Amino acid sequence: MQRAVKIYGLHLDEYGCLEEGCEANDVGVNESLLELNNALSIYPNSFSTSLTFETNSIIKKVSIYNLLGEKVFSQTYPKTNLNLAFLPNGIYMLKVETDKGVVTNKIVKY
C-alpha cells in the first residue's frame, strides 16, 4: 500500500517576508543561488550610515523593505556604496537583484 506524503515548508514572498506554510513537491537547494549568495558581500551589517557591496555580478537593482513589507528605498544600477543615513534605526530586508539572480538579506541600521 502506497501512501502519499506531503512536505510542508516555509516560503518567502517577493519581499523576503515569511508566508504561511505552503506545499512543496521537491526539497533541495538551488546551488546557483547558494553560489550567488556566497559571492555577494554586504558590509558592515549592522551599519549607521552606509552599506558596501562586493560581487563579481552586475547589480541591477537594490531595494530595501521595512518589516511591514513597505519599500523604503530602491535604486537601479547602484554604486557599490549606498548612503542610507536617512533611514530610521531598525531592521530591514535588503533585496539585491543581479544578472545571476536575487538575494535577500536582513540588515540592521543603528
As a whole number of angstroms, the distance between CA 9 and CA 27 comes to 9
**Strands, E assignment, the chain:** 7-12, 18-24, 41-43, 50-54, 59-65, 71-76, 81-83, 90-98, 101-109
Q: What is the mean pLDDT of each run of 10 residues along the chain (110 residues)?
A: 49 58 50 63 95 92 96 94 96 94 94
| pLDDT of 71 | 97
| pLDDT of 12 | 62
| pLDDT of 56 | 87
As a whole number of angstroms, the distance between CA 42 and CA 21 comes to 29
Fold of the domain built from segment(s) 31-109: Immunoglobulin-like (2.60.40)
> Which amino acid, one-letter code, is at 73?
F
Residue 96 near residue 106, CB atoms below 8 Å: no
| pLDDT of 86 | 97
